[in-house]
Amino acid sequence: MEVIKNQEFGGERPLYARRGLRLEGVTIHAGESALKETADIEASDCRFEGKYPLWCCHGFSVKDSLFTEGARAALWYSSGLQMQDCLVEAPKMFREFQGARLRDVRFTHAAETFWRCSDIELENVQADEGDYIFMHCKGVKVKNFTLNGNYSFQWARDIEIRDSLLNTKDAFWETENVSVYDSEINGEYLGWHSRGLRLVRCHITGTQPLCYAEDLVLEDCTFGPDADLAFEYSSVRATVRGSIPSVKNPRTGSIRAESIGEIIIDENLKAPGNCKIETR
């Protein structure tokens, strides 16, 4: 493997289509597509400033490195990434990406990151300003993930989230086969129009959660005092510890809670309209 140490590159495509490179202490200055169409790349203690640096890359690792805001849209149409101990200040980082493992990474401006990606694993990752993150993704596993950003995981499928904090409005819309364990989800309009959403030992806040959902499952979850008007027009099987502020027009299934502040069943209830609601 060729080693490039403590050098600086700029302009357009300075390392285009290279194979088998190890970059140590390298700076990629302003320009475009510095490492486009490459393979078998290792980058350590590097600084990426130019846009589109790693498009169409296959088989690479990035450690202890910085992507500045100028390195926007850095990782598109690529596969096979190991990323660790990195700081990412750039938005729109991953698109059409397959096979990424991220550990101990922080995104400070994660807007529109991870679109149409598959086979993604994150551990000990924080994403701030992460509006529209994980759109149209599939096969994602997340552990100890902190998200601050709205409209997350929309149109995603086959997602598993554990031990995470999600501060996100309009999360999990139009999703399929999503499971969330031992996590806190804060935000309005959670999980609308989802199919097969499963929440286990989660804490939920925000108004009108879990409406228009199909095959919704909650196991030993808790609700915050603002999580009112829950389950409207949903098919649901829910066991809740503590109180639900209010439940409105669940379509079918069962809901069990220690207490429910208000149960609203009105003329707008949709068939079959046979949800069993119990307090204990």
**In the listed set 168, 187, 213, which residue is the last one of a domain according to the structure?**
168
Same-domain status, 184 and 270:
yes
Owning domain of residue 115: 103-168
Same-domain status, 199 and 258:
yes
Same-domain status, 125 and 160:
yes
Same-domain status, 185 and 145:
no
Domain count, the chain: 3
Closest CA to 150 of 136, 175, 132, 176: 132
Same-domain status, 48 and 65:
yes
The residue type of 96 is E
In a domain, 98, yes or no: no
The residue type of 27 is T
The pair of structure tokens assigned to 34 is 């510095």
In a domain, 95, yes or no: no
- Give percent of the chain above pLDDT 70: 100
3-state secondary structure of 140: strand
- Within 10 angstroms of residue 164's Cβ, the number of other Cβ atoms is 20
Mean of per-residue pLDDT scores for the chain: 97
Q: Are the C-beta atoms of residues 221 and 241 closer than 8 Å to each other? A: yes
pLDDT tens digits, one per residue of 38-84: 999 999 999 999 999 999 999 999 999 999 999 999 999 999 999 99
Same-domain status, 160 and 181:
no
Helix (H) or strand (E) holding 260: strand 252-260
pTM (2 d.p.): 0.95
Report the C-alpha gap between 50 and 12 in whole angstroms.
9
Same-domain status, 181 and 263:
yes
Q: Are the C-beta atoms of residues 134 and 111 closer than 8 Å to each other? A: no
**Average pLDDT rounded to a whole number, residues 27-38:** 95
**Average pLDDT rounded to a whole number, residues 154-174:** 98
Question: In this predicted structure, what is the pLDDT of residue 280?
Answer: 81
In a domain, 5, yes or no: yes
**In the listed set 90, 124, 147, which residue is the last one of a domain according to the structure?**
90
CA angle (249 as vertex; 201, 197 as ends), nearest 5: 35
In a domain, 96, yes or no: no
Same-domain status, 159 and 182:
no
The pair of structure tokens assigned to 36 is 């486009």
- Give percent of the chain above pLDDT 90: 99
In a domain, 83, yes or no: yes
In a domain, 36, yes or no: yes
Same-domain status, 189 and 119:
no
**Average pLDDT rounded to a whole number, residues 236-263:** 97
- Within 10 angstroms of residue 119's Cβ, the number of other Cβ atoms is 17
Question: In this predicted structure, what is the pLDDT of residue 75?
Answer: 95
DSSP code of residue 220: E
Read off the pLDDT band of 1 (50, 70, 90). confident
Q: How far is CA 80 from CA 111, 117, 151, in A?
A: 22, 12, 27
3-state secondary structure of 69: helix
Q: Tell me how far apart the terminal alpha carbons of the chain are, to the nearest angstrom.
A: 66
Same-domain status, 184 and 277:
yes
In a domain, 264, yes or no: yes
DSSP code of residue 150: S
**In the listed set 90, 125, 148, which residue is the last one of a domain according to the structure?**
90
Question: In this predicted structure, what is the pLDDT of residue 279?
Answer: 94
Same-domain status, 82 and 130:
no
